[in-house]
Amino acid sequence: MYFSNKIKLQFAFLLVLVSCFVYGQSNVFRVTLDAGHGDHDFGAVYSGRVEKNINLALVLKVGKLLEQNPQIDVIYTRKTDVFIDLIERANIANRADSHIFVSIHCNANKNTAADGTETYVMGMSKVASNLEAAKKENSVISLEKDFKQKYEGFDPNSPETMLGMTIMQEEYLENSISLATKIEDRFADLGKKIRHGGVKQAPFMVLHKAYMTRVLVETGFISNPTEGDALNSEDGQNDIARAIADAIISYKREYFGTDTSDNIPERPTPRVIEKPVKDTSSTTSKKVIISKDSSAAVFKVQLSASKKKVELVSSNFKGLKNISVASEGKLYKYMYGETTAYEDAKKLLQEAKSKGYDSAYLIAFKNGVMIPVQDAIK
């Protein structure tokens, strides 16, 4: 009897340990960081500034910041100067069951005056400049062995084949845009130029194969002498790394909750200051007001974010009416429509996209405070 009870106690203790381990693992937020290019794939090279080296330095710095949080597990596609196939980079994230995938790169242009940051999400944009950016990054598959068989005839130089790529877009797009926006917001806080709205869509192969929230960050132009030198400097890399890490922490807090280990300070959640639309058209404009006493969540479509304050007239928003704005730090965030019905909100989103706002996405508020969309549709 004594031995029987002892065995039962040991078994119960083991169950407790296993339960604690499983619970701990379930609460871990997994981030895969991808340093673009590597080894014989140098990426862009200008005046001694080598993209593959800068990408790796940035990834290691971002990872070091995130690893300070015991609730974040950082996975790297590479930590040294090695070449990794595009599809394998995504598979590393897939095998780790990561929550997000962040691929870090530097931009380049023959026009050495070009500068600023861009963060891409996977999408079927037909904008020529976006396609060119994707073609440039996708072209590295030609350096891989048996790439024609591996990618089933995919031609990185053909926009038609890129636009034909199938993706699980709806499942991950909104969250990807949210993460991309947070990254660009942090870059704006650094005083960096945000190119044409910052968040863009393009068919990148490395994003296409990652089945999770995924973004590709162009941290600046290595071809620009001033910006390139900053990217190649210790101080410049530290600033960029902290901005990206801060955005990831903010995303984690919004979608996966917070804990005491989230030690990168987050800006306070913005309260929406609604303003009536002063439309100069013949149609009477409607005031857009969020009831701060309502228990129902309210959905809106975020169109863009900018340091520039724009008059809320339909002519400034491609004919869309019911425009509102919220200020957060140095940025103005412009929103379209308002509804408490999620299905109606999706229709508003499609309308915004049909007007050319390809990177628009849904946001939600409750009692005047922004909340995760997932919480709003529960």
Instruction: Encode pLDDT of 269-279 as tens digits.
Output: 333 333 333 33
Q: How far apart are alpha carbons 111 and 113 in whole angstroms? A: 5
Structure token pair of residue 114: 């070009």
Q: Is residue 59 part of a domain?
A: yes
273: left (phi over 0), alpha (psi -120 to 50) or beta: beta
Q: What percent of the chain has pLDDT over 90?
A: 40
Q: What is the pLDDT of residues 39-61, one digit of tens each?
A: 999 999 999 999 999 999 999 99
Structure token pair of residue 216: 């590709």
Q: Which of 224-233, 333-342, 360-369 has the lowest mean pLDDT?
A: 360-369
Task: Give the H/E segment covering residue 300.
Answer: strand 298-306
Q: Is the pTM of this model over 0.75?
A: no
Q: What is the mean pLDDT of residues 151-179?
A: 60
Q: Is residue 345 part of a domain?
A: yes
Structure token pair of residue 227: 């910006």
Can you give the residue range of the structural domain that contains 333? 298-376
Q: What is the CATH number of the domain that holds 371?
A: 3.30.70.1070
Q: What is the CATH number of the domain that holds 93?
A: 3.40.630.40
**Predicted local distance difference test score (pLDDT) of residue 265:** 43
Q: Is residue 292 part of a domain?
A: no
Q: How far apart are alpha carbons 138 and 132 in whole angstroms? A: 10
**Residue 330 and residue 223 share a domain:** no
**Residue 166 and residue 70 share a domain:** yes
Q: What percent of the chain has pLDDT over 70?
A: 68
Q: Is residue 329 part of a domain?
A: yes
244 or 259: whose pLDDT is higher? Answer: 244
Q: Taking all residues of the chain, what is their mean pLDDT, rounded to a whole number?
A: 77
